[in-house]
Each structure stands twice: as C-alpha cells, then as structure tokens.
Structure 1
Amino acid sequence: MTSPRSRLLVRLLAVLVMFVGFAGQFVRNLLGWIGFGVVDGLLAVAVVVAIILLRPRMAWRRVPKSLVAFLLLAVVSIAWSFYPGASAAGAGVLIVTTLAGVFLGLCLSWAELVRTFGVALRWILGLSLAFEFWTAAVSGPILPFFFDASQYGEPPYPKAFYWSRALLLHGGPIEGIVGNRNLLGFVALLALIIFAVQLAAKSVRRFWGIFWLVVAVAVFLLTRSATVILAAVVVAVAVGFVLWARRANPDGRRPIYLTALGTVVVVVGASIALFPVILKLFGKSEDFTGRFDIWSAVIHLAQQRPAFGWGWVSYWAPWVHPFSDLAERKGVVYLQAHNAWLDVWFQLGVVGVVVFGALIVSTLWRSWFTAIDRPRHGLATDEPYAAITLVPVLLMAALLAQSLAESRILIEGGWITLVTLCLITKRSQSSAERIP
C-alpha cells in the first residue's frame, strides 16, 4: 500500500481511529452502545486489515517490553480477577485499543501522524461548537438519544446526565459532542499543541493555522475545566524546559535537570499547602468535585488486594460489584477512579503500577531526547524537525498531568495516544526515517 491512493486511505482510517478514540462518547450518545459496538468493530477490522497489508516491521529487540508486559499482565489478571467476565471483556477492549495505537505508531510517518491528529481534532472542535450553538439557540439542554431518564423523575437531572446543557451563549461551560467538559477541554489542549506545531513547521496555511488555533483557545476557555487548565500549565512549563535544553550543550544540562527537580518539589509542596486556595480559585468544592471520596473508596479496596489487584477491567463495569456503587455522587455513578495511577493500583496492584510506570517513564524518556537532541541515523535537521519533534514530549506532559485527575490515559483516545507515542519514538530511535 504505497500508492498515493492507498496512503490516502491509510490517512483517512487513521483520522477515523483518532476521532472515535477521543469522541467515542459522541458515537455512544448518538447511536447507543450497540451502534458504538458496530462502529468500533468495523474500525477494528479495518485496522487489522491495514496492519496486515502494510506489514510494518519492528525487530523484537526494539519492541517496547514495558508495553508488552502491561498487556500480558492485564490479560493474565483474568485468572485472579474478582469479576472474570468483566476482566475478559476489559482485556479484549484493551487489546483492540492497543491495535489502533500500533497502527498509528508503526504505519504512519511523523508528518502523517501530526496531520492525522490535526484533522481529527479539528472535526471534534468544529462539530462541538456547531452542536453547542444548536443546543443554545434551538433545542435547549439535550440528553443522549438512548438515555432513559424516566426512572429519575422530572427534570432537571444531574449535570453529568446531559449531553449538552446549552450554555454556549452564557459563556459555558460547554460539553461539546464528547459530552464532558473535562474531555473537551483536554481535546482543545491537545489541539493547541498540534496546531501550534503545524504553524511552526509551516505544514498548514498560515490563515487556517491561526484560525484553528483561535478555535482551540475558544473551546479551551469555554469548557472552564480546572484540571485541564492545570494540565496546560504543565505543558507550558515543559515547553520552557525543552527550549532551554535545546540551547544548552549536551554536557551542560545538569542545571536544567536540577532546576526541573526543584520546580517539581516546589510546585508539589505549594499545591499541598495552598490546596484550599487553589480549589476556591477554580470554583471547585472542598472535596475536589467528589474526587476525594472516590479516591478514598478506591484506596480502601486496593489495600485489600495490594500486590496484583482486583483484575483488569478498563472501563469500570457498573453491572458488577464493586463498581455498581463504588463511585456514586448526586445520583451519578462514575466509572473511573479519576486518577490513572490509583486505577492501575486498584486493578493490577503494585505490580501493575510498576509496569505502567516503566511504560510511562520509558516513553517520556525517548520523547524528551527526541525533542532536545539533534537527530541521528539520518533524521532531518531542518526547521520542521525543530517543531515536529516537540509533539511527543508535549503530548506526554499533557497525558501525565491529566492522569492525576482522570483515568482517561488508560482508555480510548488516551491509551491510543500513549501506545502511538511509545511505538513511534521507539521506531525513530532505531531507524533512518526522516521525522518530517
């Protein structure tokens, strides 16, 4: 599949994968779980066929062992799982999602990957603004199409039930087609990274690049997501350190690392000391919108099975114990721990946290040196290189920041992005591929 037409099909499939990965809730709200299953199944088949036809190569010694170990641990956890049926389903979802990341990480060039992210994110942002305008000006607050609200009495229902609360003309917060302001805000943050890189690399027309950058900023602000604002601060700090490291001699980077370590210590200490003030500043309740209660419940269960956990489940399964009432707040049952690290500890124990940590650290390590070191093995050294190689480390910074308040790095678009970055940085580390 090397003809222009076949590469166009590959890129189209890649855009669909990323779109559904980050806007899966849009498909579920529109078509229901059955419709979502059909769409997901068709995409999975297409991805497998594409991988078979493209036959991407990676020597076993170059395969990220931490990624393989995490997948094996999740699958094997079925053997000791408290809910083996749900674990089997969760392992299947994890494998399918991983295949999507394998397709993106091994079958696309760097330029195609950035372009894929850009197109998918533009569609999500554009459709979200159009959807929010329609609900604000025409329909009013809207529930998911396949949601039966009759069991909850008369409206208004809990905020989390609504697909959109039609608040665009009031300045937000808006939920967009993804039905969640934190997720939409995070998509906008990823878009800011990608669109800025594309502008710097001159891979898009300046007018349209600036236009979509403004759209991303507008959506980012309209979501009013405190967690995403904090993630944006982390990304901005990462940009500063990367640019500093690029200008420094490789032998003179110790002050950079010491400053980075000091910054982390100071920020963590200040966050703990000033946490009530920070919550008030962002309009959050004292329990961090219920997260403290959820974390406490998850920690209590994790301590009962600390070594290997209760069994992998990916999405929490609300039809099995203990998920049916583990994280209920104001009539809403939440299906994640709102912290990826606690979620991994709960599901796969300390062993899972160690393996997941190895996956994160190794991917972040390669992403960092991809961003700050002039490439070897014949990689490009022109200006597009300078911009495009920022993508992995900045996306990793965003994912890691989000992982402290959300578990989305373990599912759908978050996991796809992590696997993609893990593989493409590993691939470029050992190949003569030009980054742009």
Structure 2
Amino acid sequence: MSNLEYILSITIVVYLSGTLRTLLPDSLLSLIQHGTYVLFFLLLLARPKLSFACLLSNKVLLILVSLPIISSFWSEMPLASLKSGIIVVQTASVGFFLSYRYTLKEQIKIFAIAATIIGIINILYLVGYPDLAFHTDIEHSGALRGVYSQKNELAQVAVFSSLVFFVLNRNTSGKSRTITNIFSLTGFFLWMLLLFITDSKTGLLVFFFVLFIYTAAKVMRFRGYGFVLSVILGMLTITSLTLILFSNADEKIGFLGRDLTLTGRTNIWNATISMISQRPLLGYGRDAFWNLNTSIPYQIGLSLDSRATYMPPHSHNGFIDLTAELGLIGLLIFLFILIQSFFIAVQTVQSSNNTEYLWLVSYITFFILYNLTESSILKHNSLLWVTFVMVACSCQFVKRKKYLERCAK
C-alpha cells in the first residue's frame, strides 16, 4: 500500500501543477482527475481514525473548505457553486492526506520527485516543439511558457520547484547525503534556468524574497520568539509592498529591464472591490463572480474599457477574489488560518533545531506573496492550494506535538 500511495501522491502533484493540461485530451484529464480523487478518498477511509483526527485538528480549515458548497444557497449561480465547491473539497482532501500520511521531509521529497518529472516534461517539450514552447505574441515575445498557456504559469511552478529543491538541499543528512545534494542542486539550477527564461520578474522577485526570509529565519531562529516574529513580519510587509509596487508601478525600472505600466491590476482591484461592497458579508458565491454567464465580468470590463473588449478572468489578487466569492466571512476565516499557521511556523522554527520546519515559514511566505498578484486561495485543482492545506494541517500537528511534549515533562 505504501508504494502505491507514494506513486499516487507524486502523480497527483504532477497533475495539479497543470503540466498535463495542454498535452492530454480533456476526456483523459477528467478521468485522471476524478480517478485520483476517488482513490485519495478511499485512502482517507482506509485510515478512519487518522483521517478523523486530522479533520478535528483542523476544524476551521474544514469550515473554510466547506464554505464554497454552502455558498450555493446564496450564489448567483447555485449549480456552478455546488459543482466547483465539490471539487474544492476533493482538492483539499489531497492536502489533508499528505499532511498526516507523510512527515515534512517526506512531503518535500515527494514534491522534489514531482518537480523533476515536471521539469523533464517541459525540457522535452522545449526540445521537441520550440515554436510552441515560447510566446510569439508581441507583449511576451521570446518568453518561455513551456507546456503551459502563459509564461506566468510556468514561472509559478518554477518558483515553487526551486524552493522545494532549495529546502531539500538544506535538509540532507545520512548515507544518501551526497546523492541527495547532487539531485537537489541539479533540480534547483534547472528550475532557476527555466525561471530566468520565462522573463517573469514577479517570479524572480517572489523567489528571492522568500529565500531572504528563509535565510533570516534560519539565522535568527534561536533569538526570542517576539524578536524573530517581529523581524519576519517586518520583512514580509516590506516585501509585499515592494512586490505590489513592482507589479503596478507606472514607471520604468532600468535595472530590471521591465516596463512596469499599470497592466490594469489596480483598476481591476478597484472595480472588483466596488462590486464586493454591494454584497460584502457573504459575497456572490463560489465560481459565480467571474462566471461569464453572469453580467459581473462584463460590468468590470466596462469599468476598464467603455467597449468592454477585455473581461478579466480574475482580479489578480487571491484575497480580493476570495472576498468577492465568499465575502468578508470567508476572508476572515482564511486570514485566521493563515495567521495562526504563520505564528505556529515561526514559533516552531524559533524553538527547534530541525531545519525542515523552515519549509513551513517559507511556503506560507511564498503563498502570501503570490496571492498579491495572482489567485490561488481555495482554487480547485491547484497545486498551490493543496500545498497550503498540507502546510496548515502540518502546523496543527506540530502544535499538538509540542503540546504533548510539554505535558509529558
């Protein structure tokens, strides 16, 4: 069973990365999606006590994951909310399973193997179909997109994979240390190369900001908890503001070689927030706000262009999208989970010699920063959301373990 679980875990990570989306027909993708989710559900049922304990330890997260289904009662598109909500629960179940089935080190290894497979697929695609692997449009001409439809998708996976290999390299020990070091360094430099070729400055900024916070947390982890927390929160605030500035500034920054014109983000944010103000508490329902079968995307398009020639698929901000769909209630529940997990992660890093706990701080930082300019919160079939669920659950397990250790003394 353990080998099957391991292979299935790697497979679902590859699938959730979106790597297979343009390579396989929709019918086969649907079969993979539903088949793997059914298998994970059966695996959860195979260990009822552990599964139940996991859910009980993460009651607030369970409420958040259930909220999309519940939102069908007030949604603008009830059926769409129900269908999407079910997939959100299925997606989260993978995160629940990975969190209690594997240790942090094992989780990182699973991601590293999956990232290797994803990297090989993209390289083979680049070699075999170079004309398709690069953007040919004027705006992104020459930027690598790999098997994805847009360079930012590849950049997001590249940042995630680079972070995984970096953390793996920092946590090698035992007889296989040399092999693991070679494997992790090769994977790290491979994905960093792909990240540079995507020409995604946002991706590079996010990665180096996360790397900076990882290093700072490691260096200062034996200082007082309040000091470490204050420093990390201060750095996170500065990096968040810098990322927003670089994504929306209306001027050129020469050393980055990027024209940082507004790109419509702040205009979309303003238009979206204006719509949220009409239904602030519960929002418009899961998968109902940006649904083209409603008039909302058209109204937002009109606010950007009087001819509504462009209707954005999302607001380019995960926190705003969450509020639009599930209201302030959904946002506050998520922020509670996010802040609690972050505090537990920092406290654990500060009080432990185990460097794998730095993965928790690093990933939460990564998730926060990416959701300032993209949207991954409660996103179904999303690697980033599955990993957040896994990390949030792992934080609760770490908290419970520390509590039991104190009680045993």
Q: TM-score range by the shorter chain?
A: 0.7 to 0.9
Distance in 2 (alpha carbons) for counterparts of 1:424 and 1:268 = 24
Distance in 2 (alpha carbons) for counterparts of 1:212 and 1:400 = 24
Aligned match of 1:233: 208
| 418 and 350 in structure 1: CA distance in 2 versus 1, 3 angstrom threshold | same
The question of 1:125 aligning with 2:132 is answered: no
Selected match of 2:171 from 201, 208, 215? 201
Selected match of 1:210 from 182, 185, 195? 185
The question of 1:290 aligning with 2:288 is answered: no
Conserved 8 A contact 1:90-1:314? no
| 27 and 320 in structure 1: CA distance in 2 versus 1, 3 angstrom threshold | farther
Give the superposition deviation at 1:141. Answer: 3.0
The question of 1:141 aligning with 2:119 is answered: no
* More off after superposition, 272-281 vs 75-84: 272-281
Give the superposition deviation at 1:181. Answer: 1.8
Distance in 1 (alpha carbons) for counterparts of 2:204 and 2:233 = 22
Distance in 2 (alpha carbons) for counterparts of 1:130 and 1:42 = 27
SS of the counterpart of 2:22?
Answer: helix
Deviations 1:10-54 (A, max 9, x none): 11111011111112xx33323343332221001111111122224
Structure number with the bigger relative contact order (C-alpha 8 A, sep ≥ 6) is 1
Aligned match of 2:31: 38
Deviations 1:112-144 (A, max 9, x none): 2111110111111221122122222xxx2379x
Give the superposition deviation at 1:253. Answer: 4.3
In structure 2, give the amino acid aligned to 1:391.
Answer: W
Selected match of 1:18 from 13, 22, 30? 13
Aligned match of 2:369: 401
Selected match of 1:346 from 324, 327, 332? 324
Aligned match of 2:20: 27
Give the superposition deviation at 1:430. Answer: 2.0
Give the superposition deviation at 1:77. Answer: 1.2
Conserved 8 A contact 1:245-1:253? no
Conserved 8 A contact 1:279-1:286? no
Distance in 1 (alpha carbons) for counterparts of 2:202 and 2:264 = 14
Deviations 1:299-335 (A, max 9, x none): 2211111111101128943344434675699966542
Give the superposition deviation at 1:72. Answer: 3.2
Pairs within 5 Å for 1:35-184? 35-55=28-48, 56-57=50-51, 59=53, 62-136=56-130, 140-141=131-132, 167=142, 173-184=143-154
Distance in 1 (alpha carbons) for counterparts of 2:105 and 2:232 = 30
Distance in 2 (alpha carbons) for counterparts of 1:35 and 1:324 = 33
SS of the counterpart of 1:390?
Answer: helix
Aligned match of 1:185: 155
Selected match of 1:318 from 292, 301, 305? 292
| 109 and 253 in structure 1: CA distance in 2 versus 1, 3 angstrom threshold | closer
Give the superposition deviation at 1:368. Answer: 2.0
Gap regions ≥5 residues in structure 2: none
TM-score, length basis structure 1:
0.79
Conserved 8 A contact 1:70-1:352? yes
In structure 2, give the amino acid aligned to 1:429.
Answer: K
Selected match of 1:427 from 397, 403, 406? 397
How many pairs were matched up?
A: 389
In structure 1, give the amino acid aligned to 2:335.
Answer: G
| 357 and 118 in structure 1: CA distance in 2 versus 1, 3 angstrom threshold | same
The CA RMSD measured in Å over matched residues stands at: 3.2
Distance in 1 (alpha carbons) for counterparts of 2:21 and 2:138 = 19
Aligned match of 1:153: none
Give the superposition deviation at 1:277. Answer: 4.2
Deviations 1:91-115 (A, max 9, x none): 1111111111111112223232111
SS of the counterpart of 1:205?
Answer: helix
Percent identity reads 19
| 267 and 7 in structure 1: CA distance in 2 versus 1, 3 angstrom threshold | closer
SS of the counterpart of 1:28?
Answer: coil
Distance in 2 (alpha carbons) for counterparts of 1:284 and 1:113 = 38
Deviations 1:60-110 (A, max 9, x none): 795223212212332221111111121111111111111111111122232
